[in-house]
Structure 1
């Protein structure tokens, strides 16, 4: 708990407290140092020094920012955004972790570990029962309970491989970045896509924050002017860069690719990222495109019981009872056995001390997270040694957990 001096914890000459707007200069300084962002790089995007200085002010106003101070100098910090994400058609509160940084002279003192622990307690208190982050070190975050839950597939398409024009009734229109139709299409898409962020103003601000002035948005409209998809892109050095492509049906997909292909004479190749978890090559007539897959975001269940109670299970049965034995390195409320069963299609989850309960399935918090998020299937995790159970339980788990990989295209 914080005392009257705003300190949460003390360790010798180090004191932990929440950052305020008065700490903006130190906050920006640590971000730039830790993530190697130079002022010249930021000015190149078209920002002024004053804009750069105050760009992150909304974070200090709207996010939970916690730091260790050595005397009066910021030594280490962590940021938690209050966000929302679609988990199998349930809109859940999510703690978005970012800005985890320490000056090199203060490393090795356990500052990051204690900040992460306090952040987890904060998210638990705020009802953010799952947390997402972009990892700069996958081993570090696995150690603290996060696990990979989504992929980024980077693709390159030569101009000669662009798809031929497909007949559609609608057309693309370039729009302002704050166009209401653009926001509405994303809202509609994210409400029906597992793993997608529900973007509020802060999330959209982060989405656009460091984009240069040449970023362009275009929307696909039907002949009745109904928006069904959009494309965020820029063109540079004879290359068409796709930041994000969203479409609600096949017509919109064809319309968007027609628009991209119309730039044939201007570009030599198209580059972009695909966050669906599935390669795009199958959709092209010439499928010999280059696609590179890499892990993208990680997630962590903050509260096992509450997350399970709001989770959408499939093929539930009144006869099924599962005993989940979870190991969590930090959140002690997640350690133990959770009895999971259903009554009149309502999920019941109760913590028990019975370590010999029937239908026991044992795993750590990382494995539970990636399994329930649908990134890796129970059978795969069992074969990797990440799940301990009797083999017959795998069929039950496979039937209960929806088959859909998360879509997550945001970055913070």
Structure 2
């Protein structure tokens, strides 16, 4: 077969080497072997495309997660390490891998998949669509002067109990659609090792009620001094944000400015004394794809005693094609695929549906996209597909 799952040691090493070529990074075979043989090595499902002679030409990784979606955890498969050898590009290898990978995701029971694209138009070929705009604010430290920190603050050290940080994350950031349910491996990756060596610092803020916020940042060189690049600022309650900003203001002697990424529903500009002080930009622009439409629609309740129908077109996963009726009676939501030819209140392709499911687009915004047809039942569809902020920042 031209595409199969990579399990042999030499296949995994060759996949790693191809990634180094595709992402223009150094690679050392002996170091890679040690990594595979390390007791800490955690294998990730991967698929590759081979020539008839057995040469691996392209591969990708499929890390598995639990993702927050409408207040519940659902299975999500990430896509990473998509790489191909230059001499075999434009031959359809990656496309063939995606066909196999998407079918594998369906069989595994995944509800969504997500990735960080090098090109949005490229991954739209496989049904993925833009699902989040991560906003990063750059502002001078003096712009934070109006905030004060009255909390207890301490530097968090690797090896400490993660419970306080997990409590802060799970209270708010972890509740957004697309947010990963973090396991120990995610926290280790986030915090790194010795902060004195890696210069990545984590500070925990606590008040009388317990853990309130944390901030993780790393210094970078700016034009006139150091800039604090905030990897993550999390807060359990709204008052945790100004407390964390007040703490960052204390660091003005070392940092001329900060870069801070926040969810799109956090109005930082409205909190500043001078909104001109901040220059927001979009950094990561991840994409998502619904893998199992029927399971995803189960969380999109129409309201008691109501129902709606949606027609879906998916060129790669035929199980998603058709007209689905979503009903709610006695609090229970049911999803039923109707016979072929049934009329639908809303007709969309799988990409637009993904944006509606995750809350990236409202119903009105979706109507700007070509191929979207609204036939009626507007009030119920509004109930089912509200606009929501998402927050996916864990890299894979």
C-alpha contact (below 8 Å) 1:337/1:353 kept by paired residues: yes
Match of 1:274 in 2: 262
Could you tell me the TM-score, scaled by structure 2's length?
Answer: 0.88
Distance change (3 Å), C-alpha of 1:61 and 1:382: same
Q: Is residue 2:287 matched to residue 1:298?
A: yes
Q: What aligned pairs does 1:2-401 form with structure 2 within 5 A after superposition?
A: 9-10=1-2, 16-38=4-26, 50=31, 54=35, 61-70=42-51, 71-166=53-148, 168=150, 170-179=151-160, 180=162, 181-207=164-190, 213-223=198-208, 226-237=210-221, 238-276=226-264, 278-288=266-276, 289-293=278-282, 296-309=285-298, 311-313=299-301, 316-318=303-305, 320-357=306-343, 359-390=344-375, 392-401=376-385
Distance change (3 Å), C-alpha of 1:36 and 1:188: same
In structure 1, what is the Cα distance between the partners aligned to 2:75 and 2:390? 16
Offset, 1:321: 2.9
- Show CA shifts across 1:172-222 (max 9, x none): 110114531223432343553333111113433554579971111111111
C-alpha contact (below 8 Å) 1:328/1:364 kept by paired residues: yes
Distance change (3 Å), C-alpha of 1:251 and 1:340: closer
- Show CA shifts across 1:284-332 (max 9, x none): 11211111135611111101112212x143x6031x3322111001001
C-alpha contact (below 8 Å) 1:25/1:53 kept by paired residues: no
In structure 2, what is the Cα distance between the partners aligned to 1:236 and 1:66? 37
C-alpha contact (below 8 Å) 1:190/1:197 kept by paired residues: no
Picking from 374, 384, 387, the partner of 1:403 is: 387
C-alpha contact (below 8 Å) 1:90/1:312 kept by paired residues: no
- The unaligned stretches of length 5 or more in structure 2 are none
C-alpha contact (below 8 Å) 1:24/1:60 kept by paired residues: no
In structure 1, what is the Cα distance between the partners aligned to 2:327 and 2:174? 27
C-alpha contact (below 8 Å) 1:89/1:191 kept by paired residues: no
Offset, 1:58: 8.9
- The unaligned stretches of length 5 or more in structure 1 are 1-8, 41-48
Offset, 1:165: 3.8
Distance change (3 Å), C-alpha of 1:56 and 1:34: farther
Could you tell me the TM-score, scaled by structure 1's length?
Answer: 0.85
In structure 1, what is the Cα distance between the partners aligned to 2:36 and 2:188? 10
In structure 2, what is the Cα distance between the partners aligned to 1:261 and 1:251? 16
Distance change (3 Å), C-alpha of 1:303 and 1:115: same
Distance change (3 Å), C-alpha of 1:52 and 1:401: farther
RMSD over aligned Cα, in angstroms?
Answer: 2.7
- Matched residue of 1:92: which SS? strand
In structure 2, what is the Cα distance between the partners aligned to 1:133 and 1:147? 10
- Matched residue of 1:31: which SS? helix
* Count of residues in Structure 1 that have an aligned counterpart in Structure 2: 385
Offset, 1:81: 1.0
Distance change (3 Å), C-alpha of 1:394 and 1:67: same
C-alpha contact (below 8 Å) 2:142/2:249 kept by paired residues: no
C-alpha contact (below 8 Å) 1:19/1:67 kept by paired residues: no
In structure 1, what is the Cα distance between the partners aligned to 2:8 and 2:186? 20
